[in-house]
Structures are given as structure tokens and as C-alpha cells.
């Protein structure tokens, strides 16, 4: 046996297969995935809808990991409840079986012409949407080319005594297959690839369908590691959502390993006339559909379990608007008042995002970075919903005085959103410093600390002035903004002098200048809010 040829074909084939899946998934996400997050957020009002949209989104983007991570991101941002996320995760497990069914279609002999068609669409058509379709087709062809390459590489293993002995042992001890599937999936970080390899082994006659079932269940168990990794450093709610994925699959595997003969007989009854690849796809689909049906009524119980296993207080963040009531749109003046309450709430979170970003820079506490980014996400969401609400107010007609006030508030919403964007920029600049070991001099850090404190005070005074229509506080904002401008100018000159004297590096100099520029812009947006207060009666 030529071990080099076996290894090269397997590794190369696996690489081509993984590339095909990833490239096809990227093409699908570019053409359809941009709207997926919004759909998940909007149409998962209950767990049943969560399951349906988890299925749809996973089929569209061809990645259960992507859907699960998306759900964890939404729950981390407070845009989805834990129970809604459980439904989405269940749906993602069902949706991911689509890839196994695709692999079950034996069209390796057409892989090269499919790749050629994809390349034509990619390189010889100008329209971007057609290029995305070309990317999907190209990835689809690469997927089957990888399967074919892996199959030809793995085939000689069937004559290897050690491999035959393992299959015999596995027939006596199915737990060995479960462990093998779990470990292999954890190693390659893709249940889709692991199941594709299993389908290839079965197709080459190296393992029977009966013996492939424990390995298949192990693949489903191993994939939970991706959700766990996605939740590291996330909020308590997000870690609970990731643990649901683990608990859901662990209990499912226990049930189906216990009922292994029943599962085998069922699939042989349903798919007696199809190839072994499709039989494995049927089993994969049956496992996830049945698992969802079993545990769907137990979603409250699953939520309770993970709450006990992951103790901790949830962040007191409410991402849904608290004051925007569509029933008040019939009375536009009252609706404007409610919108202002929501804008003030939005401003509070923007200021907290800036405080957390500054704290992250000064203390390098990653939790503060996550909090800042979470609140920035909240501000973005509120900005969108407040803007939509204000547009509806205008459409219902407003007296001239209220119309002017509403227009000013629309600008204020944009200024608050921009403040949170600058907080996000500061987080990203700090992350760059940490990852690239960029050292900021003590003198520069003290200057930044001083400017951060003033920027925070300026935002605070602007929000206070807006809430209480306090002209005196608005005037103080104007003075603070002028001081921030002065600081930015003086600190910039001082830092350039330090650079010229080689007291700090070019990287640290660029970071310093970027941060003070962001803080100065925070002052500008605070000034805009204050000017709105001074202009209105």
C-alpha cells in the first residue's frame, strides 16, 4: 500500500471538500445571508417560528455553525430571548442535514463540468449577483471533486487488517464508533465534513450502513464544540444558548444509541432502494427531526437546565424599544414625546458604550470590550427603530412647531448613533494594541485618560440638556466641546514631538492619533445635540 498516496489524496480531497462547502456557503450568504440576521430577529417571536427560520436560514447559508453563532450573537445583543434561540438552534440542526442529502446525490463524474460552469459565471459575467451564483456552482462542483479524491485515497484502507479489526470491534461495541465520530468532528471542526467522509467510506464499501450509525451520532455530538467556542467571552445568556446545543445533542445521542436497532430498521424501511450515502443522509435527517420533535415541548425545561448549569445574573439590557407605541401615532405630538424618551434611553446606552470602551483601553478588561460592543449594537438597533417610528409620525402629519422639533430629534438620533460608533472604534483600536503588543507611553496614556474623561462628561451633559431642556447644560457642552478641540490639537502636536524624539513607535503614534480624533468627534456630536436644545423653545 502506498501510504503517501493515501495520505495525499485524503488530505487533498478533504481540503477540496471543505473549500467547496465554504465557498458554496460564502456565495449563498452573499446572495441571501445579508438579510438572514434581520429575518431571525424579526420572525422568531416564538420557539416554533424559531425552529422554522433556523431550518430556512441554515439551508440558505449552508452552515448550522453560522446559524448557531448568529443566534448566539443575537441573544448576546439582547435581540433574542433564550427560548427563541433554543428553537433556532433546533432548526439549525435540521437545516444542516441538507448538505448530507446533497452529498447523497452521486454526481462525481460531473464535478469538473460543474466547476467549469461556475468558473465561467465567476470570471466572464459582469453582474455581481451572477458572480455569487457562480461561486455557489463552483463550490458545489469542488465539493464533489473533493469527495471523489477522498474516496480514491481511502479505498486501499479496506484491505488493511487494522481497519477491518476496528470495524469488527465497532460492530460489537457501538460506543467505539460514537467516540470516533465525536473526536474526528472535534478535530476537523465540521460535522458536515465528518459526515461527508463517513458517506464516502460507506460508498466505498469500507463500512456498512449499520456500523456507520454510531459514528453519525458521534458527528452530531462533536459539532456542539463550535457553539461552545462561539460563546467564550460572551454574555451569560449566550453561554446558556451554546449549552442548550450541547444538552440537546447529548440527550438525543443517548436516546438514539439506546434505540440503535430501531433506527436502523426504520431507515432500511424508508430508504431500502437508495444508495448508502442517501441512507446516511436519511438517518442524519431522522435523528435531528425526531430529536427536535422530542425536545420541542421541553424547551422551558431545557432553558431551566442551562440556567442552573450556567449561573449568573443576566445583563439588565432591554433591546426592544420601551416607549415607541404605534397606538400613539394617531396623536403625533404625543408620539414625538415618546420618541424623545426612547432617544434619551438610546443616549444613555451610547454614553455607557463610550465609558466601557474607555475602561477597556485603560484596564484591558475584555469584558468591558464585549459590553461596549453589545451596547453599540443596541444603539444601532434603537436608531433604526426610532427612525422608522419618526418617519411614521411625519406621515401622519404634524403641526409646524412639532415638525421642527421632530426633525431636530431625527438629527439627534444620528448624532447619538455616531457617538456609539466612535466607542466601537476605540474598542477596535485597543484590540489592535493588545493583539500586536503596541505600547502606549505613560504620558500619552495620561493624555488619553484626561480626554476620555472630558468626552464622557460632554456626552453626559448633552443627554442631560436634551432630557431637561436645560440651556445652561447645553452651554456647558459647547464649552466642553471647545476644550476637546483644544486638547486634540495640543495632544496631537505633543505626540508628534514625541515621535520625532523616538519616545514612542509609529504604531503607537497612529493609534494615539486615531483615538484622540474619535474623542474629538464625540465632542462634535455632543455639540450638535446641545445646539438642538438651544434652538428649540
pLDDT in tens, 90-130: 888 888 888 788 877 777 778 889 899 989 988 887 787 78
What pLDDT does residue 189 have? 67
Which grid cell sits at 278?
442517501
Instruction: Please give the radius of gyration of the chain, using alpha carbons only, rounded to the nearest integer.
Output: 28
Taking the C-alpha atoms of residue 233 and residue 229, their distance in angstroms, rounded to an integer, is: 9
Return the closest-CA partner of residue 519 out of 487, 478, 494.
487
Q: pLDDT, tens digit, for every residue of 277-326? A: 889 989 999 999 999 999 888 888 888 888 888 876 555 455 567 778 77
What pLDDT does residue 347 have? 93
* Numbered ranges of CATH 1.20.58.220 in the chain: 326-535
Find which of 24-28, 230-234, 394-398, 437-441 is predicted with most confidence, using mean pLDDT.
Answer: 437-441
Sign (positive or negative) of CA dihedral 325, 329, 334, 338: positive
Whether pLDDT at 252 is above 60 = yes
Instruction: Say if residues 138 and 122 touch (Cβ distance below 8 Å).
Output: yes
Whether pLDDT at 154 is above 80 = no
**Average pLDDT score over residue span 314-340:** 72
Q: pLDDT, tens digit, for every residue of 179-221? A: 888 888 777 667 777 888 888 888 877 788 888 888 888 888 8
Whether pLDDT at 427 is above 90 = yes
Whether pLDDT at 75 is above 60 = yes
- By CB atoms closer than 10 A (0-12, 13-18, 19+), residue 208 is middle
Q: What is the maximum span of the chain, computed from C-alpha positions, in angstroms?
A: 90
Q: pLDDT, tens digit, for every residue of 392-415? A: 887 777 667 667 778 888 899 999
What pLDDT does residue 100 have? 81
- % of residues, the chain, pLDDT over 70: 83
Q: How confident is the model at residue 352 (pLDDT cuts 50, 70, 90)?
A: very high
Find which of 197-201, 442-446, 468-472 is predicted with most confidence, using mean pLDDT.
Answer: 468-472
Which grid cell sits at 536?
428649540
**Average pLDDT score over residue span 29-37:** 58
Whether pLDDT at 529 is above 90 = yes
Whether pLDDT at 148 is above 90 = no
**Average pLDDT score over residue span 233-250:** 77
Instruction: Say if residues 177 and 170 touch (Cβ distance below 8 Å).
Output: yes
Whether pLDDT at 69 is above 90 = no
CATH of domain 326-535: 1.20.58.220
- Residue 6, CA distances (Å) to 11, 13, 20, 209 in order: 8, 10, 21, 23
Taking the C-alpha atoms of residue 391 and residue 389, their distance in angstroms, rounded to an integer, is: 5
**Average pLDDT score over residue span 239-261:** 86
Taking the C-alpha atoms of residue 171 and residue 19, their distance in angstroms, rounded to an integer, is: 33
Q: How confident is the model at residue 40 (pLDDT cuts 50, 70, 90)?
A: low
Q: How confident is the model at residue 76 (pLDDT cuts 50, 70, 90)?
A: low
What pLDDT does residue 452 have? 94
DSSP assignment of 316-330 equals: ----S-SS--GGGGG
DSSP assignment of 390-444 equals: HHHHHHT---HHHHHHHHHHHHHHHHHHHHHHHHHHHHHHHHHHHHTTPPPPHHH
Taking the C-alpha atoms of residue 484 and residue 474, their distance in angstroms, rounded to an integer, is: 15
Range of weakest confidence among 16-25, 56-65, 426-435 = 56-65
What pLDDT does residue 79 have? 61
Which grid cell sits at 42?
424579526
Return the closest-CA partner of residue 217 out of 286, 136, 293.
286
Q: What mean pLDDT value characterizes the chain?
A: 81
Amino acid at each position: 500500500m502506498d501510504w503517501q498516496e493515501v495520505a495525499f489524496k485524503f488530505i487533498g480531497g478533504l481540503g477540496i471538500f471543505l473549500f467547496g462547502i465554504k465557498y458554496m456557503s460564502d456565495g449563498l450568504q452573499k446572495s441571501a445571508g445579508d438579510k438572514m440576521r434581520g429575518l431571525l430577529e424579526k420572525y422568531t417571536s416564538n420557539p416554533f417560528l424559531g425552529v422554522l427560520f433556523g431550518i430556512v436560514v441554515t439551508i440558505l447559508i449552508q452552515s448550522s455553525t453560522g446559524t448557531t453563532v448568529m443566534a448566539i450573537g443575537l441573544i448576546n445583543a439582547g435581540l433574542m430571548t433564550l427560548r427563541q434561540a433554543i428553537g433556532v438552534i433546533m432548526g439549525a440542526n435540521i437545516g444542516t442535514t441538507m448538505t448530507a442529502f446533497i452529498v447523497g446525490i452521486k454526481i462525481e463524474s460531473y464535478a469538473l463540468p460543474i466547476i467549469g460552469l461556475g468558473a465561467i459565471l465567476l470570471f466572464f459575467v459582469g453582474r455581481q449577483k451572477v458572480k455569487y451564483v457562480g461561486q455557489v456552482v463552483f463550490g458545489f462542483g469542488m465539493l464533489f471533486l473533493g469527495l471523489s479524491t477522498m474516496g480514491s485515497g481511502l479505498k486501499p484502507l479496506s484491505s488493511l487488517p487494522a481497519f477491518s479489526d476496528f470495524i469488527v470491534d465497532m460492530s460489537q461495541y457501538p460506543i467505539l464508533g460514537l467516540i470516533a465520530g465525536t473526536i474526528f468532528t472535534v478535530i476537523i471542526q465540521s460535522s458536515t465534513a465528518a459526515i461527508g467522509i463517513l458517506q464516502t467510506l460507506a460508498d466505498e464499501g469500507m463500512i456498512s450502513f449499520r456500523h456507520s450509525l454510531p459514528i453519525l451520532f458521534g458527528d452530531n455530538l462533536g459539532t456542539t464544540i463550535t457553539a461552545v467556542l462561539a460563546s467564550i467571552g460572551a454574555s451569560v445568556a449566550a453561554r446558556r444558548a451554546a449549552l442548550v446545543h450541547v444538552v440537546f445533542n447529548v440527550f438525543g445521542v443517548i436516546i438514539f444509541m439506546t434505540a440503535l436497532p430501531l433506527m436502523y430498521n426504520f431507515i432500511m424501511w424508508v430508504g431500502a432502494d437508495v444508495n448508502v450515502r442517501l441512507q446516511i443522509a436519511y438517518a442524519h435527517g431522522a435523528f435531528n427531526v425526531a430529536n427536535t420533535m422530542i425536545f420541542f415541548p421541553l424547551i422551558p425545561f431545557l432553558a431551566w437546565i442551562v440556567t442552573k448549569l450556567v449561573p449568573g445574573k443576566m445583563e439588565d439590557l432591554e433591546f426592544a424599544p420601551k416607549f415607541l407605541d404605534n397606538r400613539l401615532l394617531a396623536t403625533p405630538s404625543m408620539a414625538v414625546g415618546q420618541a424623545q424618551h426612547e432617544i434619551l434611553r438610546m443616549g444613555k446606552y451610547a454614553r455607557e458604550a463610550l465609558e466601557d470602551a474607555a475602561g477597556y483601553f485603560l484596564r484591558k478588561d475584555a469584558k468591558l470590550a464585549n459590553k461596549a460592543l453589545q451596547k453599540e449594537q443596541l444603539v444601532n438597533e434603537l436608531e433604526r427603530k426610532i427612525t422608522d417610528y419618526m418617519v411614521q409620525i411625519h406621515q401622519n402629519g404634524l403641526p409646524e412647531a412639532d415638525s421642527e422639533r421632530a426633525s431636530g430629534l431625527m438629527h439627534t438620533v444620528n448624532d447619538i448613533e455616531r457617538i456609539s460608533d466612535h466607542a466601537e472604534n476605540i474598542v477596535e483600536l485597543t484590540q489592535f494594541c493588545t493583539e500586536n503588543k503596541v505600547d502606549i507611553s505613560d504620558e500619552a496614556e495620561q493624555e488619553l485618560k484626561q480626554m476620555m474623561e472630558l468626552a464622557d462628561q460632554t456626552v453626559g451633559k448633552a443627554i442631560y440638556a436634551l432630557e431637561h431642556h436645560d440651556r445652561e447644560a447645553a452651554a456647558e457642552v459647547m464649552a466642553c466641546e471647545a476644550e476637546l478641540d483644544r486638547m486634540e490639537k495640543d495632544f496631537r502636536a505633543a505626540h508628534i514631538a514625541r515621535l520625532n524624539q523616538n519616545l514612542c513607535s509609529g504604531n503607537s503614534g497612529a493609534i494615539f492619533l486615531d483615538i484622540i480624533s474619535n474623542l474629538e468627534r464625540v465632542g462634535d456630536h455632543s455639540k450638535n445635540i446641545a445646539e438642538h436644545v438651544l434652538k428649540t423653545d
